[in-house]
C-alpha cells in the first residue's frame, strides 16, 4: 500500500526544498527542475488514483506555495 501525504502545498519540506533549488537556478535549468518535480508529484498522485483534475489543482496550489516561499526569501534578503 502506498501512502501519499496530501495536500501538496502543505508539504513544507518539499515546498522549501523546491524554493531553495529554484532560488539558485535560472532559465532553462530552472524550468527543467520544475518540470521534473511536477512530473514526480503527478506520477505519485496517479499511482494512488487521484483524478487528473485534482492533480492539476494540487500542482497549482503547490506552485503558489513555492512562489510564496521564494517571495519570503527575497523579502528577508532585501531587509537585511
Q: What are phi and psi of 13, to 5 degrees?
A: -65, -45
User: Residue 77: inside a domain, yes or no?
Assistant: yes
DSSP structure class, residue 31: H
User: Residue 39: inside a domain, yes or no?
Assistant: no
Per the CB < 8 A criterion, the answer to whether 2 and 48 are in contact is yes
Write out the three cell numbers for 60: 497549482
> Span 48-72, mean pLDDT?
94
**pLDDT per residue as tens digits for the range 9-44:** 888 999 999 999 999 999 999 999 999 999 999 999
User: Residue 1: inside a domain, yes or no?
Assistant: no
The predicted model scores a pTM of: 0.84
User: Residue 79: inside a domain, yes or no?
Assistant: yes
User: Residue 26: inside a domain, yes or no?
Assistant: no
Q: Domain range holding 80?
A: 51-80
* Residues 14, 62: Cα–Cα separation, whole Å: 9
* Residues 19, 33: Cα–Cα separation, whole Å: 11
How many structural domains comprise the chain?
Answer: 1
User: Residue 14: inside a domain, yes or no?
Assistant: no
Amino acid at each position: 500500500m502506498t501512502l501519499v501525504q496530501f495536500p501538496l502545498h502543505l508539504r513544507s519540506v518539499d515546498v522549501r526544498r523546491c524554493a531553495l533549488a529554484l532560488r539558485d537556478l535560472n532559465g532553462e535549468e530552472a524550468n527543467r527542475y520544475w518540470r521534473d518535480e511536477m512530473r514526480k508529484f503527478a506520477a505519485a498522485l496517479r499511482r494512488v488514483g487521484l483524478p487528473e483534475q485534482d492533480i492539476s489543482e494540487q500542482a497549482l496550489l503547490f506552485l503558489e506555495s513555492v512562489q510564496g516561499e521564494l517571495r519570503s526569501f527575497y523579502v528577508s534578503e532585501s531587509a537585511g
